[in-house]
Amino acid sequence: MEGTGTFGAGLSRYLLAQHVQVYEVNRPDRTARRLLGKSDPLDAQAAARAVFSGRARARAKTGDGPVHSARMFKLAKDSAVKARTQAINQLKAVLVIADPALRERLSSLGNRELFRTCARLSLRDGEGDEDAVAQATRITLSRWPSASSSSPGRSMS
């Protein structure tokens, strides 16, 4: 089986639980695939040949040990870091087009304090004659999800 640690992990774990011997097979040769085209039956035949010839000797991982657990935690962490970075970048993009006075007030803040300050913004912070775009910017900034805390933050709905 190809991809016992990724795409085929579920099937691999199921087969192992049924006491079926599962061997990890490397991906098919790219040159051959380019010449012959993508074909699942041909890929399956190549995998079977690799096992029978002894080229594929590695037993499939069970996927239930500490390495797999660490992989799950790393996946969640990487996703959270990516979401936080995206939120920070989007917030700063809003600040680029914000009213100059508001932008000046917020531009010197670090990320954590910037998110806290934005969360505390209210319509009363604006001037009475503030235009619709400035009001929309202030509302957007005040409703921004918190990327600096461990909680999911507020949503815009």
Per-state percent for the chain, helix, strand, coil, to nearest 5: 60, 0, 40
**Average of pLDDT values for 27-56?**
79
Instruction: Evaluate if pTM is beyond 0.75.
Output: no
Instruction: Supply φ then ψ for residue 98, to 5 degrees.
Output: -75, 165
pLDDT digits 0-9 by tens, 100-134: 888 898 889 998 899 888 888 876 655 556 678 88
Residue from 35, 33, 48 nearest 2 by CA: 48
Distance separating alpha carbons of residues 147 and 68, to the nearest angstrom: 27
Which residues neighbour 81 within 8 Å (Cβ) at sequence distance 6 or greater? none
pLDDT digits 0-9 by tens, 140-150: 888 876 544 44
- What pLDDT is stored for residue 127 in this prediction? 56
**Torsion region of 47: left, alpha or beta (phi above 0 gives left; psi -120 to 50 gives alpha):** alpha
pLDDT band at 83 (very low <50, low <70, confident <90, very high): very high
Distance separating alpha carbons of residues 141 and 119, to the nearest angstrom: 7
DSSP 55-91: S--PBPP-S-SHHHHHHHHHHHHHHHHHHHHHHHHHH
Two tokens, residue 94: 């809003």
As a whole number of Å, the end-to-end CA separation of the chain is 45
